[in-house]
């Protein structure tokens, strides 16, 4: 076999502030025809930069400074812009990370999908449209004959990602580059898209470079894996070898971070005194946007009758996909969003629904850790000051005592004290998230609301932050509401787990009971959708969208999960909101019997 793609000695540099920094160094890679090569690494490892170089493209500010790039016999490094244009989209095609951003919102989908075929003069419009519809069908898109007439905002993210793949495949390119194509999707959607990609790649014998940071995803689709870090290749080899016998230390760390976490040791807490109120109690919270209707419900209802309790020092995991209302839940507790109905009690005393009406003591007790430390930290303020301000505000500390306390907090989150003089822009993502955490801890809260605090971090860094959270809980006895879309993370850190779907509580269970005994069909779907670090897992996992004929959607009073539920009972589930089934360690909102789940 001959190599279809060959990179040798590839060098890419970034020009910034007059200086030139090398961001990719000495890359030697080969991809054989019909093979899928995965480029894996954390953010900043250069994986996307290398993939784009295969198109002869460098993002603004970057420049390919050396090395040979050869794709299907074309020497890309020697081509000028006009020659590259005839190659892009025809010989090498690109599937971008966020199809939602990569589709032009002003043009219909079909027009964009067939554009590569038209600009390269490969076929006429009618032939291209026929071919596109064939690809839509092959990619298991719903309504393949009409989906092309829609605009990008009218289809879901998972569908857009597959439509983008159709756009790449329409010219039968020699090489397709998939750049983190499933990263922005929910786990349940990710499987659907991965399956579609894998089927087409296999059926068409496509050669592909698949860029990802997620080893478990890569395990499903790649023949070979190349591990990158800091712009250099750490290790490359067959997928099996990298997954099961990684030689390089960094590959081992990656594989270790991708493996399911061992749940933290349960922390022994003294049993609550009889009559002691729980730390946090929410009853029948209804919240949303828009005005209220006659029943006092918001027009766009984001949370629908959510109830929960968190006891002192315990951790509740809240899990759900995007749009399930989990961030709104944290905002309601923090007082950033007023609930339309229901109440929030802290230590048995009602909390004001608006943050402006809360006492300083109430503010101190509940602290929110934002998802994105990049935007949560003031970029113009030294991080020591960011952490020090709540110390002054809540505890009146100033001067030396405040500096000492800041140093203690940095020590607590395992950061060197010298970091206090730095600006957020000078810190890494993981360090920023630790500062973010230290800022919340400075208030000495009873409850930390952690909203997707590890989602923006690379796997290895995210693991370390999770470890830190577990340690802090042991040292400080603080309670967490841990909000995430990742069921594995929840399992590792939480005592109890609440599953949200469409703003409704589907299940409330003991975290250790997840995976055994009866579960809500949606919880099962979530658990089944987490990719395993094992080749061939994708083929054996159940189809999360097992089509149920004639199951369009539920009425407003029906179960929110009806249209996607494999166990739905039309005539009941689409009309009536289910009551909760109660077992000893779980509550499941379903019409089925416990034994059926």
Partner 1 sequence: MTASLWVTRLIAGRIASAVFTLFLVSLAVFAVSLLMGGDAAEAILGQSATPEALAGLRASMHLDQPAPQRYLGWLIGLLHGDPGTSLVTGRPIGGMIAPRLANSLLLAGLTALVSVPVALTLGILAAVKRGGTFDRVVGIATIGIVSVPEFLIATVAVLIFAVTLHWLPALSSLRDVDSIYELLRVFALPVMSLACVTVAQMIRMTRAAVCDALTSSYVEAARLKGVPPRRLVLGHALPNAIGPIANAVALSLSALLGGVIVIEVIFNYPGVARLMVDAVATRDMPLVQTVAMIFSASYLVLVTTADIVAILANPRLRHQ
Q: Which stretch binds partner 1 (CB under 8 A): 51-59, 324-332, 479-487, 580-588?
A: 51-59
Which pair of tokens denotes residue 473?
A: 């809980």
List, in sequence order, every beta strand (DSSP E) within 118-167: none
User: In whole angstroms, how large is the CA radius of gyration of the chain?
Assistant: 26
What sign does the dihedral 43-47-38-105 (CA atoms) show? positive
Alpha-carbon torsion, ordered 55, 61, 64, 66, to 10 deg: -170
Provide the 3-class DSSP secondary structure of residue 66.
strand
Near partner 1 by CB under 8 A: residue from 87, 286, 447, 554: 87
Nearer to partner 1, 88 or 365 (CB): 88
- Cα 62 to its chain centre, rounded Å, is 27
CA gap 307, 504 in Å, rounded = 10
Near partner 1 by CB under 8 A: residue from 86, 347, 455, 541: 86
Nearer to partner 1, 153 or 400 (CB): 153
Percentage helix, strand, coil, to 5, in the chain?
35, 25, 40
Which pair of tokens denotes residue 312?
A: 């002192």
| Rounded (5°) CA angle 164-167-169 | 110
Q: Does 88 bind partner 1 (CB under 8 A)?
A: yes
CA gap 128, 113 in Å, rounded = 9
CB of 55: closest distance to partner 1 in angstroms?
6
Q: Does 120 bind partner 1 (CB under 8 A)?
A: yes
Q: Which stretch binds partner 1 (CB under 8 A): 62-70, 84-92, 129-137, 587-595?
A: 84-92
CB of 175: closest distance to partner 1 in angstroms?
12
Of the CA atoms within 13 Å of residue 299, those in its CB half-sphere come to 3
Q: Does 552 bind partner 1 (CB under 8 A)?
A: no
CA gap 540, 542 in Å, rounded = 6
CB of 102: closest distance to partner 1 in angstroms?
4
Strand 447-451's sheet: what is its strand order? Answer: 366-369, 447-451, 479-484, 315-319, 496-501, 504-510, 586-589, 580-583
Q: Does 53 bind partner 1 (CB under 8 A)?
A: no
Q: Which of 213, 117, 203, 124 is nearest to 168 (CA)?
A: 117
Near partner 1 by CB under 8 A: residue from 41, 46, 89, 288: 89
Q: Does 317 bind partner 1 (CB under 8 A)?
A: no
Q: Does 347 bind partner 1 (CB under 8 A)?
A: no
Q: Does 471 bind partner 1 (CB under 8 A)?
A: no
Q: Check: CB of residue 430 under 8 Å from CB of residue 457.
A: yes
Near partner 1 by CB under 8 A: residue from 22, 98, 232, 309: 98
Residues 6+ apart with CB under 8 A from 175: 4, 5, 31, 54, 71, 72, 91, 92, 93, 207, 208, 209
Q: Does 94 bind partner 1 (CB under 8 A)?
A: yes
Q: Does 300 bind partner 1 (CB under 8 A)?
A: no
Q: Does 55 bind partner 1 (CB under 8 A)?
A: yes
Residue that the structure tokens 């760390």 belong to: 253
Q: Which stretch binds partner 1 (CB under 8 A): 151-159, 209-217, 308-316, 352-360?
A: 151-159
CA gap 148, 64 in Å, rounded = 36
| Binding flags for partner 1, 162-181, as an x/- string (CB under 8 A) | --x--x--------------
Near partner 1 by CB under 8 A: residue from 30, 119, 123, 417: 119
Q: Does 157 bind partner 1 (CB under 8 A)?
A: no
Nearer to partner 1, 54 or 193 (CB): 54
Near partner 1 by CB under 8 A: residue from 61, 73, 105, 270: 105
Near partner 1 by CB under 8 A: residue from 153, 399, 475, 571: 153
CB of 69: closest distance to partner 1 in angstroms?
15
Q: Does 531 bind partner 1 (CB under 8 A)?
A: no
Nearer to partner 1, 52 or 407 (CB): 52
Q: Check: CB of residue 38 under 8 Å from CB of residue 239.
A: yes
- For residue 134, the surrounding DSSP H or E stretch is helix 125-138
Q: Which stretch binds partner 1 (CB under 8 A): 6-14, 106-114, 248-256, 538-546?
A: 106-114
- Name the site residues for partner 1 (rule: CB under 8 A): 52, 55, 57, 59-60, 85-90, 93-94, 96, 98, 101-107, 112, 115-116, 119-120, 150-151, 153-154, 164, 167
């Amino acid at each position: 076999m001959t190599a279809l793609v060959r990179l040798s000695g590839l060098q890419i540099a970034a020009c910034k502030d007059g200086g030139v920094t090398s961001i990719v160094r000495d890359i030697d890679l080969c991809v054989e025809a019909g093979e899928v090569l995965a480029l894996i690494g954390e953010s900043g490892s250069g994986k996307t930069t290398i993939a784009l170089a295969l198109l002869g493209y460098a993002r603004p500010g970057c420049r390919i400074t050396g090395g040979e790039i050869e794709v299907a016999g074309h020497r890309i490094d020697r081509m000028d812009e006009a020659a590259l244009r005839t190659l892009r989209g025809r010989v090498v095609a690109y599937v971008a990370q966020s199809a939602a951003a990569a589709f032009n919102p002003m043009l219909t989908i079909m027009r964009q999908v067939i554009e590569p075929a038209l600009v390269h003069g490969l076929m006429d419009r009618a032939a291209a449209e026929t071919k596109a519809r064939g690809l839509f069908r092959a990619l298991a898109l719903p309504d393949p004959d009409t989906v092309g007439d829609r605009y990008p905002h009218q289809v879901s993210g998972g569908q857009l990602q597959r439509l983008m793949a159709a756009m790449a495949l329409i010219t039968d390119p020699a090489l397709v580059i998939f750049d983190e194509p499933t990263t922005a999707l929910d786990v349940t959607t990710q499987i659907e898209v991965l399956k579609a990609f894998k089927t087409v790649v296999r059926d068409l014998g496509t050669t592909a470079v698949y860029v990802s940071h997620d080893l478990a995803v890569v395990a499903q689709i790649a023949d070979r894996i190349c591990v990158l870090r800091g712009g250099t290749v750490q290790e490359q080899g067959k997928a099996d070898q990298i997954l099961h016998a990684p030689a390089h230390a960094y590959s081992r760390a990656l594989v270790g971070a991708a493996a399911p976490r061992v749940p933290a040791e349960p922390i022994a807490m003294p049993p609550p005194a009889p009559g002691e109120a729980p730390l946090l109690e929410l009853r029948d919270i209804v919240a949303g946007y828009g005005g209220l209707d006659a029943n006092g419900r918001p027009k766009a209802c984001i949370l629908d009758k959510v109830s929960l309790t968190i006891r002192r020092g315990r951790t509740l995991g809240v899990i759900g996909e995007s749009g399930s209302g989990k961030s709104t839940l944290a905002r309601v507790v923090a007082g950033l969003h007023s609930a339309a109905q229901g109440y929030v009690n802290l230590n048995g005393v009602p909390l004001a629904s608006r943050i402006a009406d809360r006492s300083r003591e109430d503010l101190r007790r509940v602290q929110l850790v934002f998802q994105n430390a990049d935007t949560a930290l003031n970029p113009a303020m030294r991080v020591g000051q960011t952490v020090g301000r709540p110390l002054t505000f809540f505890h009146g500390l100033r001067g030396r005592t405040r500096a000492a306390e800041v140093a203690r907090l940095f020590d607590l989150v395992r950061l060197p004290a010298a970091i206090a003089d730095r600006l957020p822009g000078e810190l890494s993502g993981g360090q920023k998230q630790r500062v973010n955490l230290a800022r919340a801890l400075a208030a000495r809260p009873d409850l930390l609301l952690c909203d997707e605090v590890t989602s923006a971090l690379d796997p290895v860094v995210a693991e370390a932050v999770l470890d830190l959270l577990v340690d802090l809980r042991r040292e400080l006895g603080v309670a967490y509401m841990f909000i995430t879309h990742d069921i594995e993370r929840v399992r590792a850190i939480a005592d109890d787990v609440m599953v949200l779907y469409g703003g409704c509580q589907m299940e409330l269970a003991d975290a250790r009971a997840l995976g055994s005994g009866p579960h809500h069909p949606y919880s099962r779907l979530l658990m089944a959708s987490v990719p395993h670090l094992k080749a061939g897992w994708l083929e054996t996992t159940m189809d999360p969208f097992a089509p149920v004929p004639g199951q369009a959607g539920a009425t407003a009073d029906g179960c929110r999960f009806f249209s996607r539920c494999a166990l739905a009972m039309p005539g009941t589930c689409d009309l009536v909101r289910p009551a909760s089934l109660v077992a000893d360690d779980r509550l499941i909102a379903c019409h089925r019997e416990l034994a059926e789940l």
